[in-house]
Structure 1
């Protein structure tokens, strides 16, 4: 009886690990889409609202998807504290806090870091160009993420279950 219970626990825990990995693959396209929408909102706020960057970031954080809100809110709050940090430094700090809890991968993070390098250092038109470029790069990453999600979600579900089953067979 204890062997059966242990075997079921191993299979369940390995299946759960597979589902967790699959969940990240499923979440990533939606999170990238939310980032694109937030960047579009920021672009609109900078171009048509002529809002200063800290206020625009705070505005975007209040109105964008909750999955990406911490990135924009953290940057806006850091800039509003006026501790002498540049927009690039504030963006990098917020990204470092946001990234571990997100479903984004390294290439998505690189796109966002490159965007941060151009925030607040040029005129309005140049910032709009950089925001548009980042959105286009994220659109490409989203297409890759959707392919990865379609391909890998089911694989990791099965891999978790079969991995647990293999461990049980080895232990028995």
Structure 2
């Protein structure tokens, strides 16, 4: 009886791991899309508004863009609390603190940090050019993430169940 309970728990655990990993694969393209959406809002802020960067980030953080709002809130907080520090350093620290909580990979992080280097260091038109480039690069990454999701999501779920079944067979 105890063996049966252990086998059921093992199957649930490996199945759960498979579903968690599949969920991360599914979340990545959604989060990239939301980041692109937030950058579009920032583009509007830069182009039509005369707000400073911390206020613009705070404004984006106040919107309900799942997961991404927190990134922009942290960016706004760093920009206001780290007075005198370089803009890029403030943004980099906020990104490094927030990134592990997301499903995005380092390629998206590098694209975003590359864009952050231009914020506050160039004129409005140059920032808009770099913003458009960052959005383009993120769209490419989103397409790759969708392909990866399509290719691996179902396999990872199935692998979780099958790994549990294999362990049960080996242990029983």
Bin the TM-score by the shorter chain: over 0.9
Residue range with higher mean Cα deviation, 114-123 or 12-21: 114-123
Output one character per residue of 1:81-115: Cα deviation in whole Å (capped at 9) or x when no partner: 25222221111111111111101011111111111
Q: TM-score, normalised by structure 2?
A: 0.96
Tell me what 2:160 maps to: 160
Residue 152 (structure 1) shift: 1.0
Identify unmatched segments of 5+ residues in structure 2: none
Residue 50 (structure 1) shift: 2.3
Tell me what 1:148 maps to: 148
Residue 64 (structure 1) shift: 4.8
C-alpha distance in 1 between matches for 2:34 and 2:8: 38
C-alpha distance in 1 between matches for 2:114 and 2:163: 39
> Does residue 41 in structure 1 map to residue 41 in structure 2?
yes
C-alpha distance in 2 between matches for 1:137 and 1:169: 46
C-alpha distance in 2 between matches for 1:129 and 1:73: 24
C-alpha distance in 1 between matches for 2:87 and 2:22: 34
C-alpha distance in 2 between matches for 1:158 and 1:14: 10
Residue range with higher mean Cα deviation, 31-40 or 59-68: 59-68
Tell me what 2:131 maps to: 131
> Does residue 78 in structure 1 map to residue 66 in structure 2?
no
Distance 1:46 1:64, change over 3 A: farther
C-alpha distance in 1 between matches for 2:66 and 2:139: 20
